[in-house]
Amino acid sequence: MDYTGSLYRPPYEANSLLLQVTVGCAHNNCSFCTMYKDVKFGTAKLEQIEKDLQEAQVMHGKVRRVFLVNGDAFVLSAKRLKQIAELIIQYLPTVETITMYASINNIKSKTDEELSELSDLRINDLWVGVETGHKKTLKYLNKGFELEDSYTQLKRLNRAGIQHIDIIMYGSAGMGKGTENAIASAKLINESRPTGIAIMTMGAYGDSQLA
């Protein structure tokens, strides 16, 4: 398998096949994040992806879950994601779920029809960097979308049959704002109906804008 740069995946994906489709993060501008500062965003060539899948077919046999790396792989166009999903199904027909990290903006850029087509091609679960349901906090986290977008786009996933695990970051509102943030985030989660909630904690690391 060909991998470029540091790879990140949720702990839950420890047994998933990691298939690289992008390098770094297309947004790469969240105020707290330093994960992909050392790499320029890029996309993997389809030929390389196919080569990796041929290797995975020999090495891993029956694969049920594939996690596409890197930072916001759902940024790829619906057309490219469909090509990748078709290749995965061709080489690993036992796959039930193709998943990856997604930004709210990555969902927004796809039509309802495209989301449904992707769901039919087993892209039926996403890890969405929601972070917070607190409007002001979201602003200074610099995610590049508004709170209203979170409400709208997560519901679009539900309608398209794409499950989602919403990533929420404790501590993101700052000192003394924990309860306010928790209530606002719970409101969003109660409306967006994720299949899971992944809890992270805020850390202002080294060269992050937030630090």
Query: Considering beta carbons, is residue 31 or 116 the nearer one to ligand SF4?
Result: 31
Residues in contact with ligand SF4 by the rule CB under 6 A:
25, 27-30, 33, 35-36, 71-72, 103, 129
Give me the least distance between CB of 71 and ligand SF4, in Å please.
4
Give me the least distance between CB of 113 and ligand SF4, in Å please.
25
Give me the least distance between CB of 47 and ligand SF4, in Å please.
26
Query: Considering beta carbons, is residue 81 or 95 the nearer one to ligand SF4?
Result: 81
Strand partners, 205: none
Burial class (CB in 10 A: 0-12, 13-18, 19+), 39: middle
Query: Considering beta carbons, is residue 29 or 90 the nearer one to ligand SF4?
Result: 29
Beta strands 97-102 and 65-69 are: parallel
Distance CA 155, CA 194 (A): 9
**Non-local CB neighbours of 29 within 8 Å, separated by 6+ positions:** 142, 144
Beta strands 22-23 and 65-69 are: unpaired
Give me the least distance between CB of 24 and ligand SF4, in Å please.
8
Query: Considering beta carbons, is residue 46 or 211 the nearer one to ligand SF4?
Result: 211
Query: Considering beta carbons, is residue 72 or 117 the nearer one to ligand SF4?
Result: 72
Is residue 77 within 8 A of residue 117, CB to CB? The reply is no
Give me the least distance between CB of 178 and ligand SF4, in Å please.
21
Distance CA 134, CA 156 (A): 20
